[in-house]
Structure 1
């Protein structure tokens, strides 16, 4: 189970808002940093501020990482990996273990009224964004499909930080 993310600073919140193009919701912490140093995955509360269940614990924020995951989805990788889950019992067992790890981490934060999943786990490959976010936050070897997605997403950080400081954001003016 992943330890709780450290609290989010005002500067990180501003970067995440620029990445998303809106203020983040139910933000708990930065779960992973891109090699460029900026957040690329955040941890969200299992409930939104109004109490609505929000089962996606880890959320990709970097627009370049999000675009890379979208390209994999468009290329049919979800379908291919879904088919492989049905043929490969070792992959299916590792994916089930990833699901249990995800639920244990989320349930330690707050237990939702249903056992909703992320990314379709444990039976489906439904959202590479959620699976890649989980893989980045949990580290290599926890989510085999998420690890594959991250590996195939390429070096989304290679062009430098995706969210440049904005002179209109008070946190960014120095």
Structure 2
């Protein structure tokens, strides 16, 4: 469940990203180390530009783990499976509708587009993992697979320490 962003959380997210966060609304999930690893962003940036990525994976270690899955071909594999597994495709469509309902409760955008390629494509495991972590297990089946495949990105402890930038794993 999302929680308010404290000044400390904002600082951590800025260190994770290497820049100030944009349109930050809430901490949507915390890493087991205690720091934010997924934030919720407003459906529009401060200048009014639509921003369909509701959940943003900020932890550089989690982001690197999602990138490794993408490089290993998981997006293509899961995309192919969507075409042959009606149960998986139905769960993914339901995840898309849940995502839109949450985003639309904040602001209705001129498009039904969502992050990650939902409901027909597997386009970005970072966005899908962010959705799965924020919404909880069982909501986004592809996101759940990504989170499981990412392993224990938090095992080395916090990624954004107060004395310097993130560990450089890329976000």
Same fold (TM over 0.5): yes
**TM-score, normalised relative to structure 1:** 0.92
Q: Secondary structure at the match of 1:119?
A: helix
Say if 2:68 is the partner of 1:71.
yes
**Structure 1: tracts of 5 or more residues without a match:** 168-174
Aligned mate of 2:47, from 23, 47, 50: 50
RCO higher in 1 or 2 (8 Å CA, sep ≥ 6)? Answer: 2
Instruction: Verify: 1:87 aligned to 2:54, yes or no.
Output: no
Q: Which one of the candidate residues 35, 39, 59 is aligned to 1:38?
A: 35
Task: Give the match for residue 134 of structure 2.
Answer: 137
Aligned partner (choices 102, 105, 112) of residue 105 of structure 1: 102
Structure 2 gap segments, 5+ residues each: 165-171
Instruction: Tell me, yes or no, if structure 1 residue 165 matches structure 2 residue 162.
Output: yes
Aligned-pair CA distance for 1:7: 2.2
Structure number with greater Rg is 1
- CA deviations on 1:71-107 (whole Å, 9 max, x unpaired) are 0000100000000000000000000000000000000
Q: CA deviation at 1:144?
A: 0.1
Which whole-Å deviations, capped at 9, do the CAs of 1:117-162 have from their partners, x for residues lacking one?
2100000000000000000000000000000000000000000000
Partner of 1:26: 23
| Number of aligned residue pairs | 164
